[in-house]
Amino acid sequence: VDRIDFSNETTSEPGNNLIVDKQGLAAVSGGASKRIKGSRTYGYFSDGVVDRIDFSNETRTTLGNNINGANGLAAVSSSSYGYFGGGYNPPGPSLLSIVSRIDFSSETTSTPGNDLSQARRNLAAVSSSSYGYFGDGLNNPGNTVRERIDRIDFSSETTTAPGNILPQERGALAACSSSSYGYFAGGRDPDESPIYVDTVDRIDFSNETTSAPGYN
């Protein structure tokens, strides 16, 4: 586990690492602190097994709760739950569309039953206050890419495909969000050469339109 200090942007290794070496994992943060309104108390890392890091003392605990999709999944969070979607279970390349949920209040995991519209791996996700958006990803066979966006409604836990796809197909990308926009960046496109891309795509949370702002 590496740490970045938001006050000065320095990086360090706190020393409390995940229980085993992992790849293709995803993470959410949750568990609102009673001391500081709106703060998050824990971070949860999953590659199938959930590791928790306590933000107050940076200790790591393995919860032992399983999340479907051990590699190449993506995650979003509301104030109450974290949602892990897509991925695959090694060693086989079979893909998953399952959305699994962790309840921040009890740290139990479950599958709400409303999955992604298409099985895929190495996707990325962003969230607004009301919705989570899972974008792009690789789809077997042949590592073809999908620019599809799936949306999960945090109030009802239903998933839909809003219909606004990202401007560029790619997998193995990363994403982050502000209160107004979600940004999908980098990744690779097996159908193009060179396969790696540096572009940034954006989704507007107010109207769910997508665009390429023009910066890399």
- From first CA to last CA, the distance across the chain in angstroms is 27
What is the mean predicted confidence (pLDDT) over 113-139? 92
Measured in whole angstroms, how far is the alpha carbon of residue 18 from the centre of its chain? Answer: 18
**Element at 71 (helix H, strand E):** none
Tell me 168's DSSP state: S
Q: What is the pLDDT of residues 80-121, one digit of tens each?
A: 999 999 998 877 668 899 999 999 999 999 999 999 988 899
CA pair distance 166, 201, nearest whole angstrom: 7
Please determine, for residue 2, whether its predicted confidence score (pLDDT) is greater than 80: yes
Q: How many CB atoms lie within 10 A of CB 104?
A: 22
SS3 58: coil
Q: What are phi and psi of 115, to 5 degrees?
A: -95, 175
